[in-house]
């Protein structure tokens, strides 16, 4: 048997140590690279996340702020009976004690509501939510139609029933001011944002109706908060309806107006109009409210 020299053993030991050290350095380099990559990714994404959280927070503050911060010219009817909302038949008939008041008392209440100044009706989404929770709905549709409509929207787009009712009421009030079909506006919201009031596209369109705040900045001058009001559901609907109204008036038809609204300059709108009109038909079918009413 040959005798292994001490120099050979030392060389092999040194080689083993070197190999283990190389593997250790290689593994460390891999983990260091992963750590650097994670740091870079978080460094790029955290500011964006912070900005989104800030926008959501500001939008919530605006949405729940009392109506005094809005100019009176934009006040909507969010009061009690006689201010544009109708309570359900059962609720309208009962007084505070739960009994049906005499006809002369009810007539006096209606007369008082009719003379109530418009400024008493706040432009506040919290008031719209309260009206919806109380079972009040806009004039011109029945309680059954209002309930069917908000149930359809709440179920399909996965939002709270009270929120759906508030949005439906708001859309009916605002759309009628411009003599637009409210169900057309509801369909536009469905296609544009799926009823997400904080939605934002890659080009900067914001809110329920995906309003381009940079393009339509002048339309937000009536709000004390400026363009950030686009994240307020009521403000967004008001501005979006104004844009849609202008587009339909300019193009001379609903189809042309929808193409204008989505920014189509050529003969094709990429199927956008067909999607909106199809959703309007589904909404009308679910609610029992005729199209264009």
pLDDT over 70 percentage in the chain: 68
Spacing of C-alpha 200 from chain mean position: 10
Among the residue ranges 89-93, 131-135, 179-183, 237-241, the one predicted with the least confidence is 89-93
Per-residue model confidence (pLDDT) at position 96: 42
Mean pLDDT of 59-69: 47
**Arithmetic mean of pLDDT over the chain:** 78
Among the residue ranges 43-47, 73-77, 128-132, 172-176, the one predicted with the least confidence is 73-77
Give me 60's structure tokens. 């919530």
How would DSSP label each residue in 85-134?
A: EE--HHHHH--TTSSPPPHHHHHHHHHHHHTS-GGGS---HHHHHHHHHT
Per-residue model confidence (pLDDT) at position 265: 82
Q: CA dist 113 to 34, 67, 174, 186, Å?
A: 67, 19, 20, 29
Q: What's the topology of domain 64-78+123-287?
A: Lysozyme (1.10.530)
Per-residue model confidence (pLDDT) at position 58: 55
d(CA 196, CA 180): 22
pLDDT digits (tens, 9 = 90+) for 265-279: 877 899 999 999 999
pLDDT digits (tens, 9 = 90+) for 155-187: 999 999 999 999 999 999 999 999 999 999 999
- Residue ranges of domains in the chain: 64-78+123-287
Higher pLDDT, residue 265 or 213: 213
Decide if pLDDT at 84 tops 70. no
Per-residue model confidence (pLDDT) at position 72: 40
């Amino acid at each position: 048997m040959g005798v292994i020299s001490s120099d050979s053993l030392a060389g092999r030991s040194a080689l083993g140590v070197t190999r283990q050290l190389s593997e250790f350095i290689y593994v460390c380099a891999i983990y260091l690279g992963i750590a650097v990559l994670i740091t870079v990714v978080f460094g790029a994404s955290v500011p964006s996340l912070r900005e989104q959280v800030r926008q959501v927070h500001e939008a919530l503050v605006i949405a729940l702020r009392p109506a005094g911060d809005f100019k009176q010219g934009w006040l909507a009817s969010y009061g009690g009976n006689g201010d544009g909302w109708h309570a359900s038949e059962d609720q309208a008939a009962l007084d505070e004690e739960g009994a049906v008041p005499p006809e002369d008392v009810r007539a006096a209440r209606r007369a008082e509501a009719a003379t109530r100044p418009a400024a008493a009706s706040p432009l506040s989404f919290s008031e719209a939510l309260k009206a919806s929770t109380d079972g009040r709905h806009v004039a011109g549709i029945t309680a059954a139609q209002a309930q069917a409509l908000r149930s359809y929207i709440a179920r399909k787009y996965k939002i709270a029933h009270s929120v759906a009712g508030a949005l439906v009421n708001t859309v009916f009030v605002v759309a009628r001011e411009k003599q637009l079909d409210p169900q057309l506006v509801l369909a536009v919201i469905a296609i544009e944002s799926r009823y997400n009031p904080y939605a934002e596209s890659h080009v900067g369109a914001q809110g329920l109706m995906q309003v381009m705040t940079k393009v339509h900045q002048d339309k937000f001058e009536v709000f004390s908060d400026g363009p950030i009001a686009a994240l307020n559901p009521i403000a967004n609907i008001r501005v979006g309806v104004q844009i849609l109204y202008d587009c339909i008036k300019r193009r001379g038809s609903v189809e042309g107006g929808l193409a204008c609204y989505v920014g189509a300059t050529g003969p094709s709108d990429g199927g956008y109009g067909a999607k909106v009109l199809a959703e309007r038909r589904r909404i009308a079918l679910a609610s029992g409210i005729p199209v264009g009413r």
